Amino acid sequence: MPFELTGLAGKVVVVTGAGRMRSIGRQMALAFAKAGADVVVTGTGRSPDRYPDDEKAAGWRDIDSVADEVRAMGRKALPIVMDVADEEDANGLINQTVRELGRIDFLINNAASARGEDRVPVVDLDLDAWDLVIRVKLRGGFLMSRAFAREMIKNEREGAIVNISSIAGKRMGPNSAAYSASNAGIQALSSSMSGELGPKGIRVNTICPGIIDTSRLDDLGRDKRWQAAIQGVPMRRASDGTDIANMAVYLCSEQGNWINGQAINVDGGSMTSH
């Protein structure tokens, strides 16, 4: 018989930050639906005037479009607009998921602030820009994980948390203090939680993507700067996010059930340590 990942059919996964057409979050939602899970997709409720041109041309509807794709694959989908860094929203999301879908099994903390004014030398870094990056990635990851873990422990259920970080949290390069700190922080949070939640049957791991060809990186263009970045990847290509999604599905499967507390690089070989 062909090799098959098991333990995903009929389960429920929450994927935060899943509304963009070209995004890791969308690929996550589709990969879990393909594996047989029902999917909760969250977003911030972006105004359509903020959509990139390709989304506007496609008639994209943010998390509602992703939810429709999940349903087209025969799975249930629940699109929810929320702020992962708001305690009430985080708790409410978990409660709504259980109330409407009957259970929750996996949490993918994918939400992150858009690239923006934080990519400057630290002496020029505005406090509001710092706070936004840390708030969404680190505070949001903490609040969502805490709410999920409380629900799972209360009902004595096993499951998994997968935090999406970045190799930037290991490289910690210049002009990216907030981004590097937030991603290093989510890796530390994952490691700490893995020791606490592992005995409860809840695995916690981090995926550290490299260069992903998504709308998040559109400010780089796709010409000289982009090609120069690609040349730094031994595989000489970017991912479209499916590689990250495939790893997340594996980490939540029965076949990945002894992997805990790891920060796994999925980056075409850009980093070969840590």
Please provide the distance, in angstroms rounded to a whole number, between the alpha carbons at the two ends of the chain. Answer: 36
Tell me the average pLDDT across 3-27.
96
Cα angle: 101, vertex 95, 258; to 5 degrees: 75
With CA atoms as reference, report the closest residue to 30 among 68, 83, 82, 84.
Answer: 68
Cβ pair 161, 109 in contact under 8 A: yes
Active site residues: 179
pLDDT digits (tens, 9 = 90+) for 179-198: 999 999 999 999 999 999 99
With CA atoms as reference, report the closest residue to 247 among 104, 110, 80.
Answer: 110
Instruction: Determine the pLDDT at residue 88.
Output: 98
Q: What are the tokens at 264? A: 């796994």
pLDDT digits (tens, 9 = 90+) for 219-238: 777 888 888 888 889 989 98
pTM for the model stands at: 0.96
**What are the structural domains of the chain?**
12-265 (3.40.50.720)
Return the SS3 of 20: coil
